[in-house]
């Protein structure tokens, strides 16, 4: 069986939920403590065994490409000043994986963006990581999904239960059996993109982690626009579910949606609290703030 070595990160979206910040800056470059959000996603892929990463960008995402490239001038200056630790940190980013970039010229949807990876990926399984979904779990979910792909020889998507009031923001799965808890793998019978709450078949929402068999590309090739007039990967996955099979990997913990202001702030605060350098002073600051604001019970 071919190992999952390649990952695709679609990063072409406009980030309209985060305006005005994203007027000119890519949403993937928003800092979470001291790293851009997309670097966490790349590090997660690498921790799960990925060696080759294709990032799908769009015309105003140059900073994303620059971040994973060498920065000769900066490196030269850091070297001249003897700032070895900073130099190593900067160089290590480009060495995380083999990086490739292609541009999605027109915003035709997530399915279209992923379909652009067909030539690069070829006839092997691959992971897809949506960069808005930040997973702080030591790559547990992605690694578990790769194992589930290898065991079942069929595509796997991450699922999480959400309140019914939120299901219309996600892809939604019907499964053949109840998910028994964290890490459980369930067979998916049907998928629907962003259903209205009263039409949703369950409260199991698709989160932005996928491990696909290369046959996904065949389904995407013939795809017609779905919800929002865009080519939806969820629709191509629904076809996989009734054909060669599709599994869900259910998890509960560790996900932040950094494309949403509220959840982005939660990510920054929670990650700052466990940061080895900042953690203890930031904790003291928060506890003092909580007292001043009357937040403690
Ligand atoms: C995309 C997918 C959706 C999935 C979601 C996860 O939607 O189309 O199926 O549930 O990501 O974050 P978007 O958030 O890009 O609208």
pLDDT interval class at 2 (50, 70, 90): confident
CA of 77 to the centre of ligand 1 (A): 41
Q: What is the mean pLDDT of residues 244-271?
A: 95
Whether 1 shows a pLDDT value over 90: the answer reads no
pLDDT interval class at 157 (50, 70, 90): very high
User: Could you tell me which residues come within 8 angstroms of residue 86 by beta carbon, excluding any fewer than 6 positions away?
Assistant: 78
Query: How far apart (Å, rounded) are the C-alpha atoms in residues 187 and 40?
Result: 29
pLDDT interval class at 297 (50, 70, 90): low
pLDDT for res 179: 74
The pTM (predicted TM-score) of the whole model is 0.96
Which residue, by CA, sits nearest to atom 7 of ligand 1?
Answer: 170
Mutate to test the pocket of ligand 1, among 8, 112, 169 (most ligand atoms within 8 A of CB): 169
Please state whether beta strands 171-175 and 185-193 pair in parallel, antiparallel, or not at all (unpaired).
antiparallel
Whether 149 shows a pLDDT value over 90: the answer reads yes
Q: What is the crossing angle of helices 37-47 and 140-152, to 10°?
A: 40
Q: What is the mean pLDDT of residues 193-210?
A: 97
Whether 261 shows a pLDDT value over 70: the answer reads yes
pLDDT for res 177: 82
Query: How far apart (Å, rounded) are the C-alpha atoms in residues 95 and 51?
Result: 10
On whether the CB atoms of residues 190 and 280 are closer than 8 A, the answer is no
Tell me what the pLDDT averaged over the chain comes to: 95
């Amino acid at each position: 069986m071919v190992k999952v070595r390649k990952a695709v990160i679609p990063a072409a979206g406009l980030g309209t939920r985060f305006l005005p910040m994203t007027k000119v800056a890519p949403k993937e470059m928003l800092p979470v403590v001291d790293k851009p959000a997309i670097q966490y996603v790349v590090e997660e892929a690498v921790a799960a065994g990925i060696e080759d990463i294709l990032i799908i960008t769009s015309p105003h995402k140059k900073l994303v490409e620059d971040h994973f490239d060498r920065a000769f001038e900066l490196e030269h200056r850091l070297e001249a000043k003897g700032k070895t630790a900073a130099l190593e940190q900067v160089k290590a980013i480009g060495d995380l994986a083999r990086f490739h970039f292609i541009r999605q010229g027109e915003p035709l949807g997530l399915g279209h963006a992923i379909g652009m990876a067909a030539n690069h990926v070829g006839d092997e399984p691959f992971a897809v990581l949506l960069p808005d979904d930040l997973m702080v779990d030591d790559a547990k979910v992605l690694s578990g999904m790769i194992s589930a792909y290898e065991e079942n020889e069929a595509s796997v998507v991450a699922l999480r239960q959400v309140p019914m009031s939120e299901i219309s923001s996600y892809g939604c799965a019907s499964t053949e059996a109840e998910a028994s808890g964290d890490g459980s793998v369930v067979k998916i019978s049907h998928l629907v993109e962003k259903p209205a709450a009263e039409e949703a078949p369950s409260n199991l929402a698709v989160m932005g982690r996928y491990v696909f068999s290369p046959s996904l590309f065949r389904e995407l090739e013939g795809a017609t626009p779905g919800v929002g007039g865009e080519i939806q990967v969820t629709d191509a996955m629904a076809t996989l579910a009734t054909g060669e099979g599709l599994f869900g990997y259910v998890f509960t913990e560790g996900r932040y949606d950094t494309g949403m202001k509220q959840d982005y702030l939660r990510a920054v605060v929670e990650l700052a609290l466990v940061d080895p350098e900042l953690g203890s002073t930031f904790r003291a600051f928060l506890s003092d703030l909580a007292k001043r604001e009357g937040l403690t019970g």
